[in-house]
Structure 1
């Protein structure tokens, strides 16, 4: 019988497309959940020397990006972070821009979300055991964490837009031109495939949550600029890889404030 206590962490980070490790100097931890295994073993590393902050990292798509967005076990991933005791959960993700002023290489610290996915387990409550549980979701992203991330972006010298709505599509295919135009006409800002159900599950788990979009493309193109090519997989991975250092700089600057 294993009597070792469960490791603890202060902050949780989900890694997205192209972001599979946070640091090499990390402890690998297996976390069992009632929802099955998370996408990969969680790694925990300490940041800072005087008052170290323990950061738990989990690549949502698993080792080698084996899990498409509709097959990620979001409940297990969020529950693993809950079991580790994180007080803040940060979710960087690749996104397509729906606005000409939000450019590839920019960040968007989102404040709203629209869920257009289907067939995903988006709640921990498959039945109400004692009383009904309907969480408020009017503010899906924690205001304090958003402020910390925006300040960290300024400190790290990266362009981050303050607020924006992410529309979440099921994937793994990209949007049609008509769908992309619909999303733009609705007033939304970026499009992604994984922010839901991460955000509502974090809300149910009682973990303050923040999403950071790294813009990799202009989705299906821009009507006002026919020279803008529609997104393709190769371009997404290339732009994300070229800007991964910005995510690391931003997180390094944000970690002390996120743990406060």
Structure 2
């Protein structure tokens, strides 16, 4: 069965009990080998890629984003739902809320951001007017509305380098620049997906308010506790979105590079 849908995130995003024919897959790419799981859900094959590896062993700035995205493309994936735990800069987006980002601000420093580095690959300047697929974001909004979970259809995701949390001064700056959320993984993942002509949507789950906004100091344990408390809603949301999605749908995202090359 062709694999058209992928979820990128941690283990806990999906419930193995509602999948059938779960198997491990390894995909070789020019950027490294990628291990992932594939299962069937409502007649659709879905790939599950654990961004940080087993036991959350890979920090966000060292994730092999190019290998991960290249592997999903190799499998035939057209649509990616990428989950992320984020801090909020927006008091209207509280812990436990879901946000389907429509824009990003990039503050990463050491990551490989493109498949096009000159040479045989050439140089490509990819359009990112709508970095997160509007159609997938609408599917997520429909799924969230059906489930009755609190969600926001728009938001600007600030990607920081990590793995440390941000200072209050940085949070203030991000907020002044228009950021709503701060996380460590959306860039370059979303950019690479566009370069491979795949639709990509971000499912951000707010776990806390940013430093200086929250009255208490942030700990990683706090993030884990909120994630655990809302894991069931996250699983339901992801699977509902998959059930509403046409795996073979077309989209402008899937012609992004062809259009660019024609202009």
Decide: shared fold, TM above 0.5. Answer: yes
Corresponding residue for residue 47 of structure 1: 41
| TM-aligned CA distance change 1:171 to 1:156, over 3 Å | same
Give, in angstroms, the shift of residue 249 of structure 1. Answer: 0.6
Instruction: Kindly report the root-mean-square deviation, in angstroms, between the aligned alpha carbons of the 2 structures.
Output: 1.6
C-alpha separation between the residues in 1 aligned to 2:155 and 2:61? Answer: 23
Q: Against the structure 1 CA distance between its residues 32 and 156, is the aligned structure 2 distance closer, same or farther, given a 3 Å change threshold?
A: same
Q: Which residue of structure 1 aligns with residue 29 of structure 2?
A: 33
Alignment of structure 1 residues 119-198 onto 2, 5 Å: 119-129=110-120, 131-198=122-189
Gaps of 5+ in 2: 250-263
Following TM superposition, by how much is the alpha carbon of 1:237 offset from its aligned partner in structure 2, in angstroms?
A: 0.7
2:3 and 2:47 in contact (8 A); partners too:
yes
Q: Could you say which residue in structure 2 is the equivalent of 1:229?
A: 216
Structure ranking higher in helix proportion: 2
1:190-209 to 2 correspondences below 5 Å: 190-209=181-200
Q: Secondary structure at the match of 1:99?
A: coil
Distance 1:150 1:231 in 2: 29
Tell me the number of residue pairs that the alignment of Structure 1 and Structure 2 aligns: 244
Higher strand share: 2
Asked if the contact 1:43–1:57 (Cα under 8 Å) also holds between the matched residues in 2, the reply is yes
Aligned to 2:16: 23
Given the two structures, how large is their TM-score scaled by the length of structure 2?
0.89
Task: Tell me what 2:235 maps to.
Answer: 248
Q: Distance in 2 between matches of 1:57 and 1:130?
A: 28
CA distance in 2, matches of 1:62, 1:91: 15
The CA distance in 2 between the partners of 1:83 and 1:235, in whole Å, is 37
TM-score in terms of structure 1 length:
0.90
Separation in 2, partners of 1:35, 1:81: 13
